[in-house]
Structure 1
Amino acid sequence: MAWNTERTKDLLLAAATEEFSSNGLAGARVDRIAAAAGVNKERIYQYFGKKDDLFDAVLAAEMVRVMTEVPIEGLGPEAVGDYAGRLFDRHISEGVLPRLLFWEGLERGRETVSRATRSDHCATKVGQVMAVLPGVGRTDAADLLITVITLCDGWPVLPQIDTLLAGSSPDRAIRRRAFLVRTATLIAEALQVEANSSPSALRPAEVKTLLRGNGALQ
């Protein structure tokens, strides 16, 4: 029977995602990943290379998956707030990506691998922010996106700080979500007001072109 290469890769990625998100890059073990996937560990080296390369593949795949599942939709500051709320919901149900990103930051700092898939999707995401906030420049759009992601990613990786500062009431997650939505919306409103007062603000026709380019009108 022919070996199903793609299925084996999927099994290894799933096992590696769990291992890396739980133990980080340094603490993860190739033997455990292979055992969880039910394959020989030599397959890991054959398909992905060394452990660092497998970590990069896992992080790229997870980032693309979350970015695809949680798009930035709509137009105006409320669209940014809506995105923040949906991203928060996604991380409550599954906080794998925040943990992977925090492990990467802790263990690698700024010395990280920039795979084309990660770079391209990040650029696309910044473009989506620019599309829903016409006139806002790329630097401000990137800063806004980083702020939203940082606030949302903090929930699954800093639960002890949240409990210490805000307590553990039954409606805590609901209150935190509402606060994130409000914060993202207010920052977006401020950026758009500032952008619209600038002589270089985009004209309506330019806004439509940008929206089409980023898939927001599809």
Structure 2
Amino acid sequence: MGDAAETRRRILRAGTAEFAEHGIAGARVDRIAANAAINKSQIYAYFGSKQALFDAVFDNRVDVDMADVPLDADDLPGYVAALYDMYLGDPELVRLVTWARLERTPIGPLFAHREDDGRAELDAIRDAQKRGTLVDDVAAEDLWSMLVSLAATWAQSAIVHTAHAGESASDHDRRRAALAATARRAFHAI
């Protein structure tokens, strides 16, 4: 990996930690530079602004996480269980999404700036609806949104209980089973 690519990677890693902890407004470029072991001016050279760095951090995380947990419209129970595991194992992602909602996009689609985001997932859902394996009385956009939200029931933004990795395996197994059963009952055509 070249020096430029390595520097960019370090900036993204330090930016991820800083934005997850402090949000966009609270993040400090000086801390990001110190944690990336670079000169502050390099952040501006690579990304242009703190806001553009947040966008790069956010987009990078979304790309990685969507690739790690692809939607299989024929296995929604497995999908929501995998999302639960991802949220549990990646609290930074949930925090970044929360900050993006609080400071950037309080209403409407969170990923509106990402033209292709969700297209493959929505196409897969629509295809399954046409094949009769998923209910067709719920719009694909709404079904996908409900699946993602269902999986986040115990994420950091949860109102009643926030799950954490230190809880017992039986607690996590019980939650995965509940998520899977709910997705199956709600969305699989009978």
TM range (shorter): 0.7 to 0.9
Alignment match, 1:216: none
Structure 1 gaps, min length 5: 194-218
Give the structure 1 partner of residue 181 of structure 2: 182
Correspondence list, 1:31-110, <5 A: 31-73=30-72, 75=74, 79-108=75-104, 109-110=106-107
Once residues 63 and 40 of structure 2 are traced to their aligned partners in structure 1, the CA distance between those partners, rounded to angstroms, is: 25
Higher helix residue share: 1
- Whole-angstrom distance in 2 between the partners of 1:67 and 1:128: 14
Deviation at 1:55, TM superposition (A): 0.8
Shift in CA distance, 127/97, structure 1 to aligned 2, threshold 3 Å: farther
The CA RMSD measured in Å over matched residues stands at 2.6
SS at match of 1:157: coil
Among candidates 124, 129, 134, match of residue 130 of structure 2: 134
- Does the 8 A contact of 2:98 with 2:157 survive in 1? no
Partner of 2:115: 119
* Amino acid in structure 1 at the alignment position of 2:44: Y
Structure 1 consecutive aligned stretches of length 4 or more whose deviation exceeds 4 Å = none
Q: Residue 30 in 1 paired to residue 29 in 2?
A: yes
For 2:183 and 2:97, the matched residues in 1 are separated by 21
CA distance in 2: counterparts of 1:169 and 1:160, whole angstroms = 20
Work out whether residues 111 and 117 of structure 2, in 8 Å CA contact, stay in contact via their aligned partners in 1. Answer: no
CA-CA distance at 1:183 after TM superposition: 1.5
Distance 2:6 2:12 in 1: 10
Which amino acid in structure 2 is aligned with residue 54 of structure 1? Answer: L
SS in 2 for 1:155: coil
Unaligned 5+ runs, structure 2:
none
Q: Distance in 2 between matches of 1:120 and 1:37?
A: 31
Q: Please report how far the alpha carbon of residue 159 of structure 1 lies from its aligned counterpart in structure 2 after TM superposition.
A: 5.6
Q: CA deviation at 1:174?
A: 2.3
Aligned residues: 180
What letter is aligned with 1:14? R
Distance across 2 between alignment mates of 1:154 and 1:49: 36
Q: Could you tell me how far apart the structure 1 residues matched to 2:41 and 2:153 are?
A: 36
Relative to structure 1, the CA distance from residue 172 to residue 160 in structure 2 (aligned partners, 3 Å threshold; closer, same or farther) is farther
C-alpha distance in 1 between matches for 2:125 and 2:187: 9
Contact 1:67/1:121 (<8 A) preserved: no
Structure with larger Rg: 1
1-structure distance, mates of 2:125, 2:168: 33
